[in-house]
Structure formats: C-alpha cells, structure tokens
C-alpha cells in the first residue's frame, strides 16, 4: 500500500488529478507513454469534485481527450431516477461528463430505479466484464470506513448488489437533501470483490472527519467492520490524503520517507529501466 500525505485538500486534488491521468495513460507522463482504451471506475461525493476539476482543466488545456475512455460508477441511490438532481447520474453530468468529450454511451452507472434491482446489479457486473474490467478505480471513503456503499459487515468477496445504508452514511449525505427523511435508505453498489478486481486503485480522503476511517483502513486489521481495510490485500493501491485525514496514523514519518525514496528511485532508475512505476 502506498500512502501519500499532502499539505491540503487542494494539493491532494491537484496531485491525484495529474497522477491518475498519467497512470491510466491519458496524460503522457515523462516517458511519453499513452495507452489505448481505458476503463475507469468513478466515485461521487464531495471528495472527488476537486480531482474531476483537474481533469476538466487538463481537457480544456487540450492535453487530454476522454474519447477512448469508458467509465463505471461505483453506486447509485435506490429510488432516484437519473433526472433527479440528487442522483449520482446527475452528479456525474454536473461535475464531469458535461465538461469533457466522453461519449455518453461509454458512461455507466447502476440503475437505482430498475424494476428488478438484482437483475440490474447482475447486468452491471456483466457490463464491466464485457468492457474488459476496470483498469483504474477512484475511491472515496465513508466516515464509517465504507468504500462504494459497501457498509460495515459487507462480504469482502461481494459483487454489485443492493445495500442498506447505515444511519451514519445517511446523516453524512443528508447535506445533499432537504431533510434526513429524504435520504434514500438503500443503494445499488459495486461489491468489494468488484472493486478489488480493478487493476489499480486510488483512494482519496481529506478532512479530520475521515481520520479514524483512514487509520483503521491503513493500520488496522483487515475486517468487514472497516470495508476499506480490505485494500491492504490489493497489490496496487495508492491512498492520497491531506494532513487532517492523516492525523491519527501512527506511521506518518515512515510513509513520507517511503514516498521520498520512491521519487528518488524513480529518477535514478529513469536512465536504466525507463522508470518503472511501482506501488
């Protein structure tokens, strides 16, 4: 697990924005490498807004195109139609899709209004598989340690399905609704197994309200009581956080030192191996 601690949420968005584009080959990195088609897993919520803004800026600067990109979002509320401004469908239009050149037919979110939600979930899994699997997954983290809407006790092998939201999650998200009563009680979400199948994962988090979940996810035991802790078992995970979110970590000095060495090694190896990236 690579842990990167940055000074502020704004700096985190800037670094995460650029690195994610480089890692999935959309922005030529210093080796001038660009890949072909890429499948991105996307998150919603407050945290990725700054990262998406960075992507939009790189797009407006003419540095990247999303024409070769297919996206799959993590989740959608059950009962909110795609035209509902509080839906994650609407969020994605507002914060990303309306501002870039991605083909709409290449963007996917679970259907929270499907007549048969189980069937919709199974078909979502199938579509991800058809697309060749997720190359690069962006994640946020809930204050209770959820990823996607995989709440406490989620099977660590789960695939896309309906989950009941915890009171904590509903109260955290009540800010997007007029009252707590309006916050949906369920969501359709990629499972933990679905997320773990992604080839590479970037989790971003900022603010003190995430510090406990971040500590438990990185330094605690792997347990379904902290779904994000399962990321310790993935071979290519980067966690980027700001100072406030890192507050409860016991080993910040070590993470900073590892990151400094990583940068140093990368520049040393440049001439020899063309700077292989390693997690």
Return the active site residues: 75, 144, 146, 151
CA distance linking residue 254 with residue 113, whole number of Å: 46
CA distance linking residue 209 with residue 193, whole number of Å: 26
Q: Which residue has the tokens 């979400």?
A: 189
Residue 45 or 133: the one with the smaller Cβ distance to ligand F6R is 45
Please give the sequence-ordered ranges of beta strands (E in DSSP) within the chain, or none if there are none.
2-6, 38-42, 69-73, 75-77, 107-108, 136-139, 161-164, 186-189, 200-205, 237-242
Residue 25 or 41: the one with the smaller Cβ distance to ligand F6R is 41
Residue 27 or 44: the one with the smaller Cβ distance to ligand F6R is 44
Strand 2-6 relative to strand 186-189: parallel, antiparallel, unpaired? unpaired
Interacting residues with ligand F6R between 120 and 159 (CB under 6 A): 140-142, 146-149
Query: What track of x and - describes contact with ligand F6R for positions 69 through 108 (by CB under 6 A)?
Result: -----xx---------------------------------
Residue nearest to ligand F6R (CB): 140
User: How far apart are CB 49 and ligand F6R at their closest, in Å?
Assistant: 8
Query: What track of x and - describes contact with ligand F6R for positions 33 through 62 (by CB under 6 A)?
Result: ----------xxxxx---------------
Residue 26 or 74: the one with the smaller Cβ distance to ligand F6R is 74
Sheet holding 161-164, edge to edge: 75-77, 186-189, 161-164
Residue 143 or 200: the one with the smaller Cβ distance to ligand F6R is 143
SS3 at position 188 = strand
Burial of 79: CB neighbours in 10 Å, binned 0-12, 13-18, 19+:
middle
User: How far apart are CB 91 and ligand F6R at their closest, in Å?
Assistant: 8
Task: Count residues binding ligand F6R (CB under 6 A).
Answer: 14
Are 161 and 118 within 8 A, CB to CB?
yes
Interacting residues with ligand F6R between 1 and 40 (CB under 6 A): none
Which positions ≥6 away from 190 have C-beta within 8 Å?
41, 72, 74, 75, 110, 124, 128, 148, 159, 160
Which residues of this chain interact with ligand F6R, rule CB under 6 A? Answer: 43-47, 74-75, 140-142, 146-149
């Amino acid at each position: 697990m690579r842990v990167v601690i940055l000074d502020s949420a704004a700096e985190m968005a800037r670094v995460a924005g650029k690195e994610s584009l480089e890692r999935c080959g959309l922005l030529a990195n210093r080796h001038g490498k660009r890949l072909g088609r890429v499948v991105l897993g996307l998150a919603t919520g407050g945290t990725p807004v700054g990262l998406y803004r960075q992507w939009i800026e790189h797009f407006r600067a003419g540095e990247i195109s999303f024409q070769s990109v297919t996206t799959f979002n993590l989740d959608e509320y059950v009962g909110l139609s795609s035209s509902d401004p509080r839906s994650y469908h609407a969020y994605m239009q507002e914060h990303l899709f309306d501002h870039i050149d991605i083909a709409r037919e290449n963007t996917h979110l679970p259907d929270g209004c499907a007549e048969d939600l189980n069937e919709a979930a199974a078909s979502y899994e199938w579509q991800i598989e058809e697309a060749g699997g997720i190359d690069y997954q962006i994640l946020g983290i809930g204050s209770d340690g959820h990823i996607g809407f995989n709440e406490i006790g989620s099977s660590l092998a789960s695939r896309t399905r309906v989950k009941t939201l915890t009171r904590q999650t509903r109260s955290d998200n009540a800010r997007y609704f007029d009252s707590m009563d309006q916050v949906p009680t369920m969501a359709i979400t990629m499972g933990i197994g679905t997320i773990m199948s992604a080839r590479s994962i970037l989790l971003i988090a900022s603010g003190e309200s995430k510090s406990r979940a971040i500590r438990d996810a990185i330094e605690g035991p792997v347990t379904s009581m902290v779904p994000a802790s399962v990321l310790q078992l993935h071979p290519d995970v980067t966690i980027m956080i700001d100072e406030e979110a890192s507050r409860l970590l016991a080993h910040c000095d070590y993470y900073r030192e590892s990151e400094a060495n990583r940068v140093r090694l990368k520049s040393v190896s440049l001439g020899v191996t063309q700077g292989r990236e390693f997690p």
